[in-house]
Structure 1
């Protein structure tokens, strides 16, 4: 059997091979870093996610004569606009627990 003899690369070819190897190493490390970042982000979102909250029956009391003008959801807040005897009031509640988080009352200037 005869073996094929591969000629030695010239210095320019050797330099080119080393540059290609270095660029491939950089590309491989960058790809590995990107995949690791995606996996970390997915893991963070999975472990940070809160389970679905149990359904709750809550009764909120309104002042006498008040009526709900509008409702809205803003992020994780439930927003109610109330008309209380001619004065407008906005009440916010946490959407998951339905606990009051704020109240904004509008009054005319004296």
Structure 2
């Protein structure tokens, strides 16, 4: 019912010094290969954990930005690490940008009509 391999005809022979050197060399190369692979995986996991620890959370809380008198918010959008607010100030267009992480003002651009 069960397949059994036939018993060996010859007993285990001792390895020659040349064969022992080849086996030792193979073991050395195998251990070096495993060591390099483990170091590579550790490096990748180290970089991933470093970036996760260094990531700064987005700003939370309340921020009040004062707008000029008569200004209306036309549109808002987020682009990269910047919040962009387009204002309509008495017929003139103004763009204000804020840093997404700190919500601090990053810039202001005004458009005016030539007289």
Q: Give TM-score scaled by structure 1 length.
A: 0.69
Out of 30, 35, 55, the position equivalent to 1:29 is 35
How much has 1:92 moved relative to structure 2? 0.8
Other-structure match for 1:76: 81
CA distance in 1, matches of 2:17, 2:106: 75
- How many residues were matched structurally? 105
Unpaired stretches in structure 2, ≥5 consecutive residues: 1-10
- Structure showing greater radius of gyration is 2
Q: Does residue 47 of structure 1 match 2:53?
A: yes
Other-structure match for 2:15: 8
| Aligned-CA RMSD value | 2.8
How much has 1:63 moved relative to structure 2? 1.2
Q: Give TM-score scaled by structure 2 length.
A: 0.67
Q: Spell out the pairing of 1:77-92 with structure 2 (5 A cutoff).
A: 77-92=82-97
- Aligned partner of residue 43 in structure 1, secondary structure: helix
**1:36-61: per-residue Cα shift (whole Å, max 9, x none)?**
212321331243233564x4222211
